[in-house]
Structure 1
Amino acid sequence: MNVIVTENLSKNYADFTAVSKVNIQVPKGKVYGLLGPNGAGKSTLMKMFLGLTQPSGGAFTINHKQYPQNRNEILREVGSFIEAPSFYGNLTGEENLDIIRRILGLPKTSIEEALSIVGLVKWKDRQAKKYSLGMKQRLGLAIALIGKPAILILDEPTNGLDPVGVHEIRTLIQTLPEKLQCTVILSSHLLSEIERVADTIGILNQGNLLFEGSIDELKTNFHPSDRTDGNLEDTFLQLIQEDNIRRGIKA
């Protein structure tokens, strides 16, 4: 069963196309990795799912609900972390979550549950501005998942973190489908990151979908000419390079 399905989904701006007739299928209860270089269209695709930017063409459904007809119903089922997490620095982690709790009409117990999932219970009374970058990313995740949404959309959640912080966030993301019975859509420009956490991947370049499937299918179906050690990074880079050559784009 797929929880997100797009049909020729596109987003055009005056001078370029950010997303071009993309068809993806996101399986329920899995981690779906959107992979591509900066400017590939990953963030634009996620923003369309959240109603933050309007499609120029095509259509999509989330949990069998058509956008934009069922926009409000869709948003009630989706939690998101787009770009840098937003919160009030002068409030504690707990107070920031309480604001979201009140907006969503959730019980007070939901705050402790969210803090526990992301490992911030110990620091719930500290002002958010005094959190480390890794703790701020965790607070952003707590805000996204406090309502236990059916779908979590996470745009580059490890951006700017040191290796320890990256490992902690990756490990946390891997546990979310089982803990929350949810589906996670994760974007990154790093194959190594997606490879560790995603069940299915979609590779975007210049707004076009080049591949969708499992890591094993990527290994099986694409063999860079100079690859001798099964290096997936080479596979990814050659896919992008060949697509750029087809489009007449210089590296």
Structure 2
Amino acid sequence: MNNRNIIETMDLTKSYGDFTAVSHLNLHIRRGSVYGFLGPNGAGKSTTMKMFLGLTSPTEGTFHIEHKTYPKDRISILKDIGSFIEAPAFYGNLTGEENLEIIRRILGLPKSAVDDALELVGLTEHRRKLARRYSLGMKQRLGLAGALIGHPPILILDEPTNGLDPVGIHEIRTLVRSLPEKYDCTVLVSSHLLPEVELMADDIGILNHGQLLFEGPLQELEGYAENAGFPTCNLEETFLAMIDADNQERRKC
């Protein structure tokens, strides 16, 4: 494993019967970076993230996280990761603070960790409000606080800005962008808001039908797109053109 990478996958594959959700995936996620993981619905992004978290097992291949190998080091890997996958689940009859307190105790963190996480996501004034009375945007923030608590070295965030208004989206993007420098962590983030990803990510991985179309720094994507005849004015147009071209190639097969 290359020391500059904190996560690497080797032919990582996940099949469900005749359907292959992730196919021979080789990712290289640089330590201390924000890695934007992109793809249309059903491309395999969430499945890949769930494999990293041990929520589903690979059919083939494996991965290394911080020099630990799945499945041998599964429990040790989980201790290094804070995650936010799909819609976060909470105890609705407990306050936001109480929900985070459960996570804090499980992880054996100091009591100050809850206060810190609430402040990071802007929920301090709503800490004693029942979680079932949180708006969708507040629930997203609480889920993000649960991922950030204790400042884990790796964060896996799946659509962290769902349900947020433009101000909230800007705040979360600014927060994610600041995390590598502030807490010496690496962030793998999936989002459909490509203009936001363009503003926060160092590197990009583009997935379609479970296969990696591109991986590398944002500036390299522009050169790749130009050589391939794709638009280069912004990430969204480049992404849509790449997905469309790949889909057309698949229809010919």
The question of a shared fold, defined as TM-score above 0.5 by the shorter chain, is answered with yes
Q: Deviations over 1:205-244 (max 9, x none)?
A: 00000000111111111136474x7243222111111111
Contact preservation (8 Å) 2:230, 2:241: no
Task: Note if 1:154 corresponds to 2:157.
Answer: yes
Report the secondary structure of 1:20's partner residue.
Answer: strand
Q: Specify whether residues 74 and 230 from structure 1 end up closer, same or farther in structure 2 by C-alpha distance, changes over 3 A only.
A: same
1:158-205 deviation line (CA, Å, top 9, x unaligned): 123332222222122112222222111001233222111111010000
Aligned to 1:99: 102
Q: Is the 8 A contact 1:35 1:190 kept in 2?
A: no
- 2:206 is the alignment partner of 1:169: no
Match of 2:31 in 1: 28
Question: Quick one: distance in 2 between partners of 1:96 and 1:118?
Answer: 15
Paired with 2:234 and 2:153, the residues of 1 have a C-alpha distance of 34
Say which of 34, 57, 69 aligns to 2:72. Answer: 69
Contact in 2 for aligned 1:149/1:182 (Cα 8 Å): yes
Alignment of 1:1-251 (within 5 A): 1-223=4-226, 225=229, 227=231, 230-248=233-251
- Aligned to 1:247, the other structure's residue is in SS state helix
CA–CA distance in structure 1, aligned partners of residues 210 and 118 of structure 2: 36
The 4+ residue runs of structure 1 with deviation greater than 3 A are 224-227
Does 126-135 or 200-209 show the bigger shift? 126-135
One-letter amino acid of the counterpart of residue 143, structure 1:
G
Change (3 A) 1:125 1:23: same
How many equivalent pairs are there? 249
The code of the aligned residue for 2:195 comes to S
CA RMSD for the aligned pairs? 1.7
TM-score using structure 2 length: 0.93
Moved more, 67-76 or 158-167: 158-167
SS of equivalent residue, structure 1 residue 248? helix
Q: Report SS of the residue matched to 1:106.
A: coil
- Equivalent pairs: percent with the same residue? 63
Question: How far apart are 1:245 and its partner, in Å?
Answer: 1.4
SS in 2 for 1:29: coil
* Residues in 1 aligned to 2:125 and 2:116: alpha-carbon distance in whole angstroms: 13
Q: Output the CA distance in 2 between the equivalents of 1:51 and 1:243.
A: 30
Distance across 2 between alignment mates of 1:56 and 1:91: 38
Name the aligned partner's letter for residue 241 of structure 1. D
Matched AA of 1:89: G
Q: How many Å separate the matches in 2 of 1:226 and 1:67?
A: 37
The amino acid across from 2:245 in the alignment is E
Task: Supply the AA of the counterpart residue of 1:107.
Answer: P
Structure 1: gaps of 5 or more residues: none
CA distance in 2, matches of 1:17, 1:71: 23
Q: TM-score normalised to the size of structure 1? A: 0.94
Structure 2 CA distance, aligned partners of 1:23 and 1:69? Answer: 19
